[in-house]
Amino acid sequence: MIPIRRVVRIVGTALRFRLDTIPRALQIDHWTRYLFPTSLLPVPQTPEAKRFRLALERLGPVFIKFGQLLSTRRDLLSVEYADELARLQDRVPPFQSATAIATIEREIGRPLNAAFGTFSEQPLASASVAQVHEATLTSGEEVVVKVIRPGIEQVIREDLALILALAKLLERLSSDARRLHLIRVVEDYEKTILAELDLLRESANTVRLRRNFESSPLLYVPKVFDDLSSVNVLVMERVKGVPISDLATLREHGTDLKKLAERGVETFFSQVFNDNFFHADMHPGNIFVDVSDPANPSYIAVDCAIIGQLTKEDQAYLARNILAFFDEDYAEIAKLHSESGWISSSANALEFESTIRQLCQPFFQRPLAEISFGSFLIALFSAARRFDMEVQPQLVLLQKTLLNIEGLGRQLYPDLDLWTTAKPFMEKWTREHYGPGAILKAVVDQGPGLMELLPRVPELLLTGSRQLPELGRLAVEQKQAMENLTSALLSERRRRRRTRVAGAVLVVAGVGLLWESFMEVIAIGGGNMATSAGIAATLVGSVLVGRG
C-alpha cells in the first residue's frame, strides 16, 4: 500500500524548500512548472544547494543516503552542491541525549555509570540512522557509543514502500525499467538499509573485517566490545584519525597523498577479491586516515553496517572482465558477457564487441582526473539496450562502492591512474586462482576423488556418446513443446481480450438500454422489455469481462 501521508510530506517538503527552482537553474524547467505552480513565484534568497540539503535532511535516512552518494561525485556536481551535500556525512541534526541515554541503559540492562566512567551527552557525530557519543569504560579505555535513532524504522519502511510502488509502476510501463530490474534493485536496497538498523549485525561485520586486515598495513578496523553491544547500541574502540575529506590537515602532516590513493584502490580490490567481503558504504564520513607515519598512511574504517559479497561465479567473471578491459581485449569482454548471461545469447557478438570498443578506447591511457567511471557506466547501459543487457542486482553494491572509490581518489590525488594501480593486483589474483599453480592445487585437493573416478572414465565416455543423440532428440521435443505452449498462451490471451471487449460492449449496450427504459418509465411508465434486455446485457457483459 502506498503511504499517502508520506507522499504528502515529500511533496510538502519540496514546496517548502522551493526545490522547483533547481530545474529552473539547470534550464530543464519546461515541464516542472506544471508540477509546481510555485515556480511562478520569486526565487528564495537561500542558496539552492543549501535548500536541497535541508530538504534531504528533513525527509530522512533514505534521502540522506542518496545525498551522501551524490556528495562524492564532484565530477557530476558543482563545488557548491558537493560541499553542501558533504555536510550530510556526519552533521545530521542529533536527537535528544536523554533519549540516547535511556536507550543505552535499557539495552545494557544497568545504569549508565555502572558501565562507563565518563559519557559525553553532546554527540560526537550524528548521521541518518544513528548518532555517536564519546565515552570511557570503567577500565579507562576510550570508546564511542553508537545509538539507533528512535522511530527511524517506520520512516524507512514508508519511504521504501513508496519507492517500491514507483519501481513496480515503472516496470509495468517501461521495458527499460524491466531490463534494469528496478524492483529487485529496490528490494536489495531494502535489505541493505534495514540491515543498518541491526547493530549486532554491524558488530559481526566489524569483527570479521578487522580479522581480515589484522596484519595488514592498509586498513585498521576498531575493536568491538560485545558485552556492551546490542541491536540498538554498539560500543567500539575510539580511534583517532583525520577525516579523509580534510585535505588541508592531511597536507599539513605531509601525508603522501599519492600513496594513500593507491592504497585505497588496493584496499578495495583486496576486499572484493581476496576476502569477498567489502565495506560497501565508503563515503567520506566513514573513512579516516592514520597519519602517525605520513610517508606510509593507512586507512581507518568505521560503520561496517553495509557489507557486500559476490558469488564465486560473479567474482570470477568480474575479475576476467576487468583484466580484459585492462588488456583492451574487447572480443573477450563480449564473450564473457555472453557466457555469464549478462547479455542475450542471441545478441550479435561482433556488434557488441564493436560497441564496447567505441566506449572503452577513450577510457584508457588517461589520468583519473579526466575519466568519469559513472559516465562510462551510464554510456554502457545506454548502448547495451540493443543487446538486452540486464543490470545485475548483485553487482549494484559493488558499482556504488567503486563510484565512492572514484570520488575519494579524485579528492586525494587527481592524477592517479586507477587502472595502472589495479592491474598488477588483478593479474596476481588471476594467476593465484586460475593459473597453473591453482589448477595443480585443485587436482591435488581432488586427488582421491579423481583416482576413484579414473577407472570409470572409458565407461562414462561410452555411455555419454550413446546418450548424446537421445539428449538431442529430447532437446528438439522440448523446444517444440515450448513453442506449442507459447502459441497456446498467445491464443488464450487473444481469446480473453476478445471476451473482455465483447463484455464491455454488452455492458455499454445494457447501460444504454437501461437508461432509455428509465427515461420511458419517467415519461409514460413503460419500458419493461427494454429494461429486461438492458439488465440481461449488463449481467452477461459483466460476466464476460470478469472471465476475460
Residue type, 318: L
What's the mean pLDDT in 387-397? 65
Residue 514 inside a domain? The answer is: yes
Q: In this structure, are 279 and 347 located in the same domain?
A: no
Q: Is the pLDDT of residue 216 over 90?
A: yes
Residue 140 inside a domain? The answer is: yes
**Domain's final residue, options 276, 308, 340:** 308
pTM attached to this predicted model: 0.68
Q: In this structure, are 401 and 499 located in the same domain?
A: no
Q: In this structure, are 293 and 316 located in the same domain?
A: no
Work out how many domains the chain is built from and give that number.
4
Amino acid 537: pLDDT: 52
pLDDT, tens only, 129-157: 889 999 999 999 999 999 999 988 888 88
What's the mean pLDDT in 80-92? 75
Q: In this structure, are 427 and 496 located in the same domain?
A: no
Q: In this structure, are 241 and 344 located in the same domain?
A: no
Q: In this structure, are 402 and 440 located in the same domain?
A: yes
Q: In this structure, are 393 and 320 located in the same domain?
A: yes
Residue with cell string 554491524:
202
Of the segments 161-175, 333-347, 359-373, 405-419, which one has the largest average pLDDT value?
161-175
Higher pLDDT, residue 193 or 496: 193
Alpha carbon distance 371, 363 (integer Å)? 7
Residue 288 inside a domain? The answer is: yes
What's the mean pLDDT in 210-224? 95
Contact indicator for 395, 309 with CB cutoff of 8 Å: no
**Domain's final residue, options 65, 86, 107:** 86
Q: Is the pLDDT of residue 39 over 70?
A: no
Q: In this structure, are 390 and 345 located in the same domain?
A: yes
Q: In this structure, are 340 and 269 located in the same domain?
A: no
Residue 38 inside a domain? The answer is: yes
Q: In this structure, are 139 and 258 located in the same domain?
A: yes
Q: In this structure, are 292 and 319 located in the same domain?
A: no
Amino acid 297: pLDDT: 95
Q: In this structure, are 279 and 332 located in the same domain?
A: no
Alpha carbon distance 185, 307 (integer Å)? 16
Higher pLDDT, residue 346 or 307: 307
Q: Would you please indicate which residues are annotated as catalytic (active-site) residues?
A: 281
At residue 190 the predicted structure's pLDDT band, cuts being 50, 70 and 90, is: confident
Residue 164 inside a domain? The answer is: no
Amino acid 31: pLDDT: 45
pLDDT, tens only, 254-295: 999 999 988 988 898 899 899 999 998 877 778 999 999 999
Q: Is the pLDDT of residue 341 over 80?
A: no
Residue 178 inside a domain? The answer is: no
Alpha carbon distance 40, 478 (integer Å)? 63
pLDDT, tens only, 230-254: 999 999 999 989 999 899 999 999 9
Residue type, 168: K
Question: How many angstroms separate the Cα of 404 from the Cα of each of 64, 138, 162, 378, 531?
Answer: 15, 38, 26, 16, 70
DSSP state of 91: B
Q: Which domain holds residue 367?
A: 312-445
CATH number at residue 207: 3.30.200.20
Residue 479 inside a domain? The answer is: no
Amino acid 497: pLDDT: 60
Contact indicator for 337, 343 with CB cutoff of 8 Å: yes
Residue with cell string 567505441:
358
Helix or strand or coil: residue 295?
coil
Amino acid 321: pLDDT: 79
Amino acid 403: pLDDT: 72
pLDDT, tens only, 493-528: 666 666 655 555 554 455 444 444 444 444 444 445
**Domain's final residue, options 308, 339, 357:** 308
Q: Is the pLDDT of residue 27 over 50?
A: no
Residue 454 inside a domain? The answer is: no
Amino acid 500: pLDDT: 57
